[in-house]
Amino acid sequence: MFESLSERLGGVFDRLTKQGALTEADVLTALREVRVALLEADVSLPVARDFIKRVQEKATGSAVTKSITPGQMVVKFVHDELVRVLQGDGQADALKIDNPPATILMVGLQGSGKTTTTAKLAKRLKDRAGKRVLMASLDTNRPAAMEQLAILGGQIGVDTLPIVKGESAVQIAKRAKTQASLGGYDVLFLDTAGRLHIDEVLMDEVQSVRDIAQPREVLLVVDGLTGQDAVNVASEFDGKVGISGVVLTRMDGDGRGGAALSMRAVTGKPIRFVGLGEKMDAIETFDAERVAGRILGMGDIVALVEKAQETFEAEQAERMAKRFAKGMFNMNDLRMQLEQMLKMGGMQGLMGMLPGMAKHQAAAAEAGIDDSMLRRQIALIHSMTKRERANPDMLQASRKKRIAAGAGLEVQDLNRLLKQHKQMADMMKKMGKGGMMKNIIRQFT
């Protein structure tokens, strides 16, 4: 799985991590190579482009700790981005098989590995979850396909619906539902007919079966070796019948892996399982972290950077606490606080954590205090020079204009930020003088 992509990226990062000091140009060159590697692995162009853009943004805006090199940092960012692309907005759920008999509709093109996958999943549910499973083939065009499922069922010890000649797919689906209920099965797999290409007749049939069967899951089986085609097939099936997830087969082959990387971003549907061979237990749940680890093969570096980042954050917090204790609070401190707030789930997240904050939350939303405001404020501070951040009082009208323009905002936004900073700095100073801040910090550390 992913051998060629993995090799290519390995080459890029080996060079990058061996260099000590890196210029921005070095990073850009490396990222350009990553982009080529992604495209060669058949990742779709917009996905590859977005991928690089996000890594680049992180790389340019990040502080690097002393214990790691910029190259290692870039590896970590690429790793994080791989995980994000693979898993979308969350890890894929387990199969929904409560309320027995739960029907799982298997759809896909002929030869994608649909029948094999049906049997693999049935075996898995039987072996691992102790479920009673029934499988039925709806492929009325190919008696051989029905027999194949029956043979596989015999091998893995899972029941199949007896074959009755002359029935339509919908009739078989109805009979299977009845049989599953009467027979006390937990899960019913319906293995629909596949075609070589997507056509109207096939889609109509799958839709009718879906309406009758009311499945808990509609799993699309696609051949991972077909790259972007697999993604296109998924988009079409999803548009026509609606799918709840994807199974990528033949990921044991030397596929280029692009399908796995583009699937979630393009279709919005999670990859639920990957097929890794012809044997009945050659299937795995899809785990974005694990797959990203396999693609990058640089787990050590990723772990190292994570550790360094934690230490860095702890050190930073300590440094800030010391500064506050002395009553010091400049623009950099404010920026760090704002970034911390964003990290903790933004304003909404922060307020949600405090008891009785619901009504304030609504008020804050009304007053326009939200994450986008935090981001705007951070952008403003970013466009100041180092000296200006240390001493914002020095800002003249012309600089204010340029800073606001640099962040794509108005001067009044900057003035509001400066006022806010001044209020906080004054408060810190007062507290610092009275030793109050020290006491507060002592209580919390």
Report the Cα 267 to chain-centroid distance in Å: 13
User: Does 114 engage in binding with ligand GDP (CB under 6 A)?
Assistant: yes
- State the nearest-atom distance from the C-beta of 410 to ligand GDP, in Å: 57
User: Does 112 engage in binding with ligand GDP (CB under 6 A)?
Assistant: yes
* Contacting residue, 249, 262, 267, 377, with ligand GDP by CB under 6 A: 249
Helical (H) or strand (E) element with 34: helix 24-40
For ligand GDP, which is the closer residue by CB, 234 or 380? 234
- Asked if the bond preceding 101 is cis, omega within 30° of 0, the reply is yes
- State the nearest-atom distance from the C-beta of 420 to ligand GDP, in Å: 57
For ligand GDP, which is the closer residue by CB, 231 or 251? 251
Give Cβ neighbours of residue 147 (< 8 Å, ≥ 6 apart). Answer: 163
End-to-end CA distance of the chain: give it in Å, rounded: 47
* Contacting residue, 70, 71, 101, 113, with ligand GDP by CB under 6 A: 113
For ligand GDP, which is the closer residue by CB, 278 or 306? 278
Considering only residues 277 through 296, tell me which ones interact with ligand GDP, judged by CB under 6 A. Answer: 277-278, 282
Considering only residues 256 through 275, tell me which ones interact with ligand GDP, judged by CB under 6 A. Answer: 275
- State the nearest-atom distance from the C-beta of 243 to ligand GDP, in Å: 15
* Contacting residue, 70, 101, 194, 327, with ligand GDP by CB under 6 A: 194
- The annotation status of 432 as a binding-site residue, yes or no, is no
- State the nearest-atom distance from the C-beta of 244 to ligand GDP, in Å: 18
Q: Which stretch binds ligand GDP (CB under 6 A): 10-18, 182-190, 248-256, 427-435?
A: 248-256
User: Which of 211, 200, 209, 244 has the alpha carbon at shortest distance from 138?
Assistant: 209
Helix, coil or strand: residue 219: strand
* Contacting residue, 116, 226, 244, 377, with ligand GDP by CB under 6 A: 116
* Contacting residue, 27, 206, 276, 347, with ligand GDP by CB under 6 A: 276
User: Does 115 engage in binding with ligand GDP (CB under 6 A)?
Assistant: yes
**What number of CA atoms fall less than 13 Å from residue 102's CA on the CB side?**
15
- The annotation status of 406 as a binding-site residue, yes or no, is no
Report the Cα 401 to chain-centroid distance in Å: 39
- State the nearest-atom distance from the C-beta of 180 to ligand GDP, in Å: 21
Sign of CA dihedral 301, 307, 311, 316: positive
CA distances from 170 to 138, 139, 185, 402 (A): 8, 11, 20, 68
- The annotation status of 350 as a binding-site residue, yes or no, is no
For ligand GDP, which is the closer residue by CB, 225 or 301? 225
CA distances from 255 to 42, 116, 147, 237, 252 (A): 10, 19, 30, 22, 8
- State the nearest-atom distance from the C-beta of 86 to ligand GDP, in Å: 18
Q: Which region holds residue 98: left if phi is over 0, alpha if psi is between -120 and 50, else beta?
A: beta
Strands 271-275, 283-285: pairing kind: antiparallel
User: Does 252 engage in binding with ligand GDP (CB under 6 A)?
Assistant: yes
- The annotation status of 252 as a binding-site residue, yes or no, is yes
* Contacting residue, 250, 272, 376, 421, with ligand GDP by CB under 6 A: 250
- State the nearest-atom distance from the C-beta of 149 to ligand GDP, in Å: 8
Say if residues 14 and 33 touch (Cβ distance below 8 Å): no
Q: What are phi and psi of 350, to 5 degrees?
A: -65, -45
**Residue ranges binding ligand GDP (CB under 6 A):** 108, 110-116, 194, 249-250, 252-253, 275-278, 282
